[in-house]
């Protein structure tokens, strides 16, 4: 499994095509684009480079829960200067970054830093299941815990 994770890149795993709005767009525009594209996040661009990212969770926590609704600019809701994944980067490095930072989505960039798309933890886990089904599907849900009683009666 280790060799596979070190060899395969973000491009091998696959990522979603870029869904974005430019800095200065309204939050309602960003949410409308997320709905139209059926995605859980949108990249905020400054030219071709990611300046921020907004997720569904950001819309709820920074907008609805704070009583702001969908008014304002994307800069008020986005996570600025998001961590990114290089298209040719080994997937194990990206998975570690996502785990350490608690990120569910990362913008994917080329070597020049231009946004190409997004990768989600969900996509990465599906990829692991595809290339190593016996290993992934046989893992217990919580490896360090043991049931207090026998399952099934």
Determine how β-strand 41-46 pairs with β-strand 115-120: unpaired
Give residue 135's pLDDT.
66
Residue 132's pLDDT band (cuts 50, 70, 90):
confident
Domain presence at residue 53: yes
Backbone angles phi, psi at 35, to 5 degrees: -65, -45
What's the pTM?
0.82
Q: What is the CATH number of the domain that holds 89?
A: 3.10.580.10
Q: What is the mean pLDDT of the chain?
A: 88
Domain encompassing residue 43 = 2-131
Domain presence at residue 12: yes
């Amino acid at each position: 499994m280790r060799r596979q994770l070190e060899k395969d890149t973000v491009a091998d795993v696959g990522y979603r095509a870029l869904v974005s709005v430019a800095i200065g767009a309204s939050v309602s525009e960003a949410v409308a684009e997320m709905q139209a594209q059926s995605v859980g996040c949108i990249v905020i661009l400054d030219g071709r480079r990611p300046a921020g990212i907004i997720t569904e969770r950001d819309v709820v926590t920074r907008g609805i829960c704070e009583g702001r609704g969908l008014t304002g600019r994307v800069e008020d809701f986005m996570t600025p200067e998001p961590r990114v994944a290089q298209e040719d980067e080994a997937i194990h490095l990206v998975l570690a970054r996502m785990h350490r930072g608690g990120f569910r989505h990362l913008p994917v960039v080329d070597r020049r830093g231009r946004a190409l798309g997004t990768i989600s933890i969900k996509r990465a886990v599906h990829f692991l299941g595809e290339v190593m089904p016996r290993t992934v599907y046989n893992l217990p849900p919580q490896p360090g815990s043991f049931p207090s009683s026998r399952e099934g009666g």
